[in-house]
């Protein structure tokens, strides 16, 4: 019943934003006891597939974390209009190794913001589960990645849901988040990946 509810939720969301609902697949992890729905035309990577797949033009800022991703859904690169759009993905990550609950939800593994400020976080609810939300940006030689991160400490493990979008030709004078807002392909990808995020459910 919960799996059917996931699919109906995502289909309803697509109708609400004026998109024709695609056929959907459901990913369910028997090991980690979570599931989410995603368009069947999108590429799902897991296990060795994440290591073998090159995401984007700059391997230094992959949209799937090669060390922590359990499952990663790649936004399709068809019919793109802006050449500065590189790649985008939704992923579920296990970052439990040596991480206590306080450090998990406080994003202690992330670098402080310029000036030494801690990463700003806020509580967010997703399908009855409480997460801590933070956004980060990573830049490297004209390339940038904007990531939205949702963390939950569940059954002794630290899970992070992540929407990551990588762009190129980002001037140092322009913030990656501003560049993201100016990129129509990136905005379209973000809306689509948010729908996958909204379907995520983890068993109690």
How confident is the model at residue 19, as a pLDDT?
Answer: 54
- 3-class state of residue 124 by DSSP: strand
Q: H helices within the chain, ranges in order?
A: 2-16, 48-52, 101-105, 176-181, 184-198
Q: Using a cut of 0.95, tell me whether the model's pTM lies above it.
A: no
Number of other CB atoms surrounding residue 31 within 10 Å: 7
What is the overall mean pLDDT for the chain?
A: 81
> What are the backbone dihedrals phi and psi of residue 154, each rounded to the nearest 5 degrees, phi first?
-130, 125
- How high is the pLDDT of residue 195? 93
pLDDT computed for residue 1 by the predictor:
43
CATH of 41-202, one of 3.40.630, 3.40.1000, 3.30.70, 1.10.101: 3.40.1000
* H or E element in which residue 105 lies: helix 101-105
118 versus 63: the higher-pLDDT residue is: 63
Identify the pLDDT of residue 18.
45
Tokens of 53: 């797949």
Q: What confidence tier does 141 reach under pLDDT thresholds 50, 70, 90?
A: confident
Res 122 pLDDT > 60:
yes
Question: What whole-number distance in Å separates Cα of residue 39 and Cα of residue 187?
Answer: 17
In this prediction, residue 117 has a pLDDT band, given cuts at 50, 70 and 90, of low
Give the pLDDT score at 17.
44
| Spatial CA neighbour of 56 closest among 138, 135, 154, 149 | 138
């Amino acid at each position: 019943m919960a799996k059917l509810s996931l699919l109906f939720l995502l289909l309803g969301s697509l109708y609400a934003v004026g998109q024709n609902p695609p056929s959907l697949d459901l990913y369910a992890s028997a090991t980690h006891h979570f599931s989410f729905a995603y368009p069947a035309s999108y590429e799902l990577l897991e296990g060795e597939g994440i290591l073998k797949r090159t995401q984007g033009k700059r391997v230094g800022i992959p949209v799937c974390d090669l060390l922590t991703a359990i499952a990663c859904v790649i936004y399709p690169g068809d019919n793109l209009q802006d050449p500065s759009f590189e790649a985008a993905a939704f992923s579920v990550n296990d970052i439990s190794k040596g991480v206590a609950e306080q450090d998990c939800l406080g994003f202690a593994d992330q670098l402080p913001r310029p000036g030494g400020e801690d990463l700003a976080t806020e509580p967010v609810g997703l399908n009855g589960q409480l997460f801590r939300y933070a956004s980060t940006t990573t830049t490297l030689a004209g390339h940038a990645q904007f990531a939205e991160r949702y963390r939950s400490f569940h059954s002794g493990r630290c899970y992070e849901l992540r929407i990551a979008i990588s762009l190129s030709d980002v001037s140092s004078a322009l913030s990656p988040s501003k560049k993201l807002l100016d990129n129509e392909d990136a905005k379209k990808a973000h809306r689509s990946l948010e729908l996958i995020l909204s379907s995520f459910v983890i068993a109690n």
